[in-house]
A and B are shown apart, each in its own frame.
Chain A
């Protein structure tokens, strides 16, 4: 269980993080969304004990980042937005180094290394030098490094940046698998559609402030509490609008252009099909009738202003 309580980070006149709070349970995959400089990395670095908060704290399974940083570090795997790989080191040596500093018992180290290599599909690269690996493979190696001590919480800062579509898809699968294994995964990213695919929870941060936090569907509902139905008609939409506005469960009808209407609707699916039937019965020539779904990008654009600190 991760509980972040009122985290603040102040750099002189600049406040990088302003009272960020949230909590996550095992199996949660949390998408941390924000523009560059919004405070994502600062928050992640504070949770990973690399940066001291000005105020507030966070606890991971009872271990506090201020009072027990070593206890926290034993439970987290931090993957920064850069590789930080050593030259002149082979893949297994790199993992062996981290397994040792994470206090994995010497007898178990080899099997742990084999397991994480298998999980990240790097077994064939066991004896390769890390500097010879492609970017995507290095990224997977970084993830393997985070897993050597079987952490409860994974902090992945921009894990998909610079990856090709295939590597990105593989990484996505891997993150989903880690969530299934019961780990809490925090992923910060700019690629919003992908986050929506595998995150069950998102947080949007801007200028250090958490603007929204919760399950993806809940956040979508927050910004779009009513359903929106897009209707395309052959007739002039302006004439149709008034008739549609009087129909049951319709809260409002807005003209999108000459032939398009956007209807705010608070009925269920049955009532939605009744609306379509009513339109046809009223001799309105309907060409298209579909519900518009908001996505994370819409939410992000709606909530944020694009301002940076």
Chain B
């Protein structure tokens, strides 16, 4: 315990990597010029936004003026959010790749420090820089407070939402740069990752904004209760930071839940980066895998609890809390998690001879290897992830409603299990064909695109009907059809699909095993044919 505390203190306080990075960031006048330019630009854009709003000749009444000032405040926060989205990833996007190219990583890792030390150091230095940018923007946001467009509480909430997003972006940058071979690929992939995150979170944020200002079907304008996920989008921080989620009868500000999510997610990403920088069987890989399960459980609670106990998720099309059809909603969520897990399968399952022994063939199924991180442990680990989501949903639902999720939940969960086992089998089969690791992974992704993405438009065009109709058609053949059934009654077929997927997946995996017993040269020849 003492050793753990000493290690933790050493990592988070007086971290040498953070000190070195910060010295380099603040060296000379470069930082000063950058900050001056940033502040000048912010003042200029803020001034322009203000003059445009105040020029509005129809803004006569106090209520209208108040609304205009609110929108001025949200414009300022939106501008700072844009800076966070651009600057935060850039602070870390190339940091590990640059060290790898400079070949200084070996010097650090021959010292008695784990990769986490270096990663946390870089994170701390980048976070300090980002906080400096937020503090520099305070005079501009203070103008909004002075004029009455916002309160200090709004500003603090918005800043924490922005900082949370910044933390996630920096962690994405570190995770990508720990894997990327070149600076260019590191930077490009980091911004693709940030873009994907923004796209995903904008679903929640924009629906909230639309319902608030468009007088949407839910009338959320009259209350600030909203799903916590709305705070994940930084651009709408001015609107979403005052929202709250009711947990156990207590109004919990969503920016707190957003911050918890950001810290947990960034920790998961840093664990992933640490695992990428560590050899086979390292504590970092085990930590990453355990973090994955814990994070999924935490996310499951954060999603399931408000969904089961409160109404705002209804605006996302979910049935009201406690209704019998919630089993269907939770089931679709489990199926969605299984589909997202597809992107993990090439990385977890594919095997090929490699120098670090991380992905070398070591059998088909081993519970012990689930946390160690070798290919034999891939299926047990995927089953752990699937099981975690199912158990958390069942437990949270039972806790919140004192009831049980309906049969549709189990039908769709079974489909999710089948989906995972099928793609596990595909990945095992491709890996057995004597390809290198990259080719095996690419083949799985290519097969995924062919089977999951392409059939829908083709099958729809064959039947002259779109997926939007629930009548039976060739679209029923689409693999994902059952994950998003168009009528709740369709889920009755899900277990049959699941059984088919599981049998096919196991058959493919066993075919792969038989293939592995042949000499490598023969396997290559077979794959060439």
Contacts and interface: CB of A to CB of B under 8 A. Distances in A.
Range for the number of chain B residues in contact with chain A: 20 to 34
Given A12-B353, A100-B14, A101-B16, A73 B102 contact: no
B110 A73 contact: yes
B517 interface: no
A97 B105 CA distance: 13
B221 interface: no
Interface string B5-41: 0000010001011011001100100000000000000
A85 B109 contact: no
Nearest to A69: B112
Nearest to B16: A100
Contacts of A103: 10, 112
A85 B279 CA distance: 23
Nearest to B102: A84
Contacts of B280: 52
Given A70-B112, A89-B24, A78 B117 contact: no
A90 B14 CA distance: 19
B267 to A, nearest CB: 21
B355 to A, nearest CB: 5
Contact of B110 (A13, A78, A93): A78
Contacts, number: 79
B402 interface: no
Given A73-B111, A83-B103, 20 more contacts: A12-B353, A12-B354, A49-B110, A50-B106, A52-B279, A52-B356, A74-B112, A78-B106, A82-B103, A84-B102, A85-B104, A86-B102, A86-B104, A97-B16, A97-B17, A98-B107, A98-B111, A100-B14, A101-B17, A102-B111
16 contacts: A11-B355, A50-B110, A52-B279, A52-B280, A52-B357, A54-B357, A80-B106, A80-B107, A83-B103, A84-B104, A96-B16, A97-B17, A98-B16, A101-B16, A101-B108, A101-B111
B138 interface: no
Nearest to A13: B353
A87 interface: yes
Contacts of B54: none
Interface of B: 10, 14, 16-17, 19-20, 23-24, 27, 102-113, 117, 279-281, 353-357
Given A11-B355, A82-B103, A101-B16, A48 B113 contact: no
Interface of A is mostly: loop
B112 A93 contact: no
A260 B17 CA distance: 66
Contacts of B110: 48-50, 73, 76, 78
A82 B102 CA distance: 9
A86 B102 CA distance: 8
A93 B23 contact: yes
Contacts of B357: 52, 54
Interface in A150-178: none
Contacts of B14: 100, 106
Nearest to B104: A84
A86 B24 contact: yes
Nearest to A52: B279
A186 to B, nearest CB: 13
Given A52-B357, A86-B24, A100-B16, A80 B103 contact: yes
Contacts of A98: 16, 107, 111
Given A84-B102, A100-B16, A101-B112, A89 B23 contact: yes
A183 interface: no
Contact of A73 (B20, B112, B356): B112
Given A48-B110, A74-B112, A97 B103 contact: no
Nearest to A82: B103
